[in-house]
């Protein structure tokens, strides 16, 4: 029972790291970026290539798995995404899904279509018993990393000058600009951090979720569910939603295996019927 809860939390945390960048771009910047999973895939491949070709230790690859997608995100934001902020959502969807297909084909061509495998260090393998619960070490590691990230993100958004500027820029870009806030720099930074977080999620998830060129398509639906259920105006919304979905998914598959695949979709429908704006968002 508690093991199931633990697995659910670990899975949810992973979903959160993967999806929180999307919550930021979709919720705060009001941009529909379906290509979010492509950045996660980039992070995963950075880790896989560094570990398998160059023998870099797993932990050292993680900062790079954040940095490389962040830089890619920054470059794309400055060159491509920027042009689309003012366009309709349909244009944004078409543009970003196009990016996904290009990313899938590019990775397929350069890396091959097979699953990429990484070997996590031995001290993260296996499981231990804590207070009578069987706990996987790697999953505990994920929970720890993600927990730190959640606190840090929440702190930055609510307690720092950058956070208040970002919220101001989102609420009303024109007024924010009038007050001397450099909105485009703030958006670019936010986008880069969101992409970097996705990359980190992809790297952490490679061991559990697998990694192949179709990754962005396979997980797009999960990201979108997290963001729609959580609502898009804060970090806490998607965080609680991720945990809820992770636990519901794992528990559902454990207790009712035959219906397990439908649990998260049912949950999504129920939440959206009761609170169409998401769990924690203000009604618009």
Partner 1 sequence: MLRRTLLSAVGAAAAMLALSGVAMAQETVKIGLILPMTGPFASTGRQIEAAAKLYMQQKGDTVAGKKIQLIVKDDTGTADVTKRLAQELIVNDKIAVMAGFGLTPLALAPAPLATQAKVPEVVMAAATSTITEASPFIVRTSFTLPQATVPMADWAAQNGLKKVATLVSDYGPGIDAEKAFTAAFTAKGGQVENLRVPLANPDFSPFLQKVADAKPDALFVFVPSGIGAQFMKQFVERGLDKSGIKLIGPGDVTDDDLLNNMGDVALGAITTQHYSADHDSAENKAFVEAFKKANNGMRPNFMAVGGYDGMHLIYEGLKKTNGEGGQALVDAMKGMSWTSPRGPVSIDPQTRDIVQNIYVRKVERKNGELYNVEFATIPNVKDPVKAAKSN
For residues 68 and 140, what is the distance between their CA atoms, to the nearest angstrom?
Answer: 25
Contacting residue, 57, 98, 112, 147, with partner 1 by CB under 8 A: 112
Span from 35-43, 86-94, 148-156, 211-219 in contact with partner 1 (CB under 8 A) = 211-219
Query: In this complex, which beta carbon is closest to partner 1, that of residue 187 or of residue 219?
Result: 219
> Residue 114 or residue 182: which is nearer to partner 1 going by CB?
114
Contact 128/137 with Cβ under 8 angstroms? yes
Taking contact as CB under 8 A, which single stretch among the options 90-98, 105-113, 142-150, 191-199 is the one that binds partner 1? 105-113
Answer yes or no: are the C-beta atoms of 181 and 39 closer than 8 Å.
no
- Specify the DSSP class assigned to residue 136: E
Residue 11 found at the interface with partner 1 (CB under 8 A): yes
- Kindly tell me which residue out of 39, 58, 187, 219 binds partner 1, with binding defined by CB under 8 A: 219
**Cα torsion 106, 110, 114, 118: sign:** negative
- Please report the DSSP string for 104-164 in residue order: HHHHHHHH-SSPP-----GGGSSEEEETTEEEEHHHHHHHHHHHHHHHHHHHHHHHSHHHH
Q: Does 250 sit near partner 1 (CB under 8 A)?
A: yes
| Residue 77 in contact with partner 1, rule: CB under 8 A | no
CB-based contacts of 48, cutoff 8 Å, min separation 6? 116, 117, 118, 206, 211
258 part of the interface to partner 1, by CB under 8 A:
yes
Is there binding between residue 115 and partner 1 (CB under 8 A)? yes
Q: Which of 180, 257, 274, 283 binds partner 1 (CB under 8 A)?
A: 257
Applying CB under 8 A, the residues found at the interface with partner 1 are 3-4, 7, 11, 105, 108, 112-115, 117, 119, 125-127, 134, 136, 138, 207-210, 212, 214, 218-219, 222, 249-254, 257-258, 260-261
């Amino acid at each position: 029972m508690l093991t199931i809860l633990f697995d659910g939390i670990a899975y949810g945390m992973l979903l959160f790291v993967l999806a929180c960048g999307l919550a930021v771009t979709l919720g705060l910047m009001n941009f529909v970026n379906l290509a979010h999973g492509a950045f996660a895939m980039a992070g995963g491949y950075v880790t896989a290539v560094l570990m398998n070709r160059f023998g870099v230790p797993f932990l050292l690859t993680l900062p790079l798995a954040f940095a490389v997608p962040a830089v890619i995100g920054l470059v794309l934001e400055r060159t491509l995404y920027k042009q689309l902020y003012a366009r309709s959502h349909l244009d944004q969807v078409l543009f970003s899904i196009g990016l996904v297909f290009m990313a899938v084909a590019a990775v397929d061509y350069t890396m091959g279509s097979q699953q990429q495998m990484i070997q996590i260090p031995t001290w993260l393998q296996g499981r231990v018993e804590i207070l009578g619960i069987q706990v996987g070490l790697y999953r505990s590691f994920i929970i720890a990393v993600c927990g730190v990230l959640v606190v840090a993100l929440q702190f930055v958004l609510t307690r720092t000058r950058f956070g208040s500027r970002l919220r101001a820029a989102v609420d009303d870009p024109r007024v924010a600009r009038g007050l001397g806030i450099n909105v485009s720099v703030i958006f670019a930074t936010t986008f880069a951090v969101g992409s970097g977080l996705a990359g980190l999620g992809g790297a952490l998830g490679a061991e559990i979720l697998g990694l192949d060129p179709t990754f962005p398509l396979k997980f797009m639906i999960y990201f979108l569910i997290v963001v729609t259920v959580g609502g898009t105006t804060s970090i806490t919304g998607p965080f609680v939603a991720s945990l809820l979905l992770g636990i519901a998914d794992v528990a559902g598959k454990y207790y009712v295996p035959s219906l397990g695949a439908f649990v998260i979709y049912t949950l999504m429908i129920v939440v959206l019927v009761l609170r169409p704006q998401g769990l924690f968002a203000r009604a618009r």
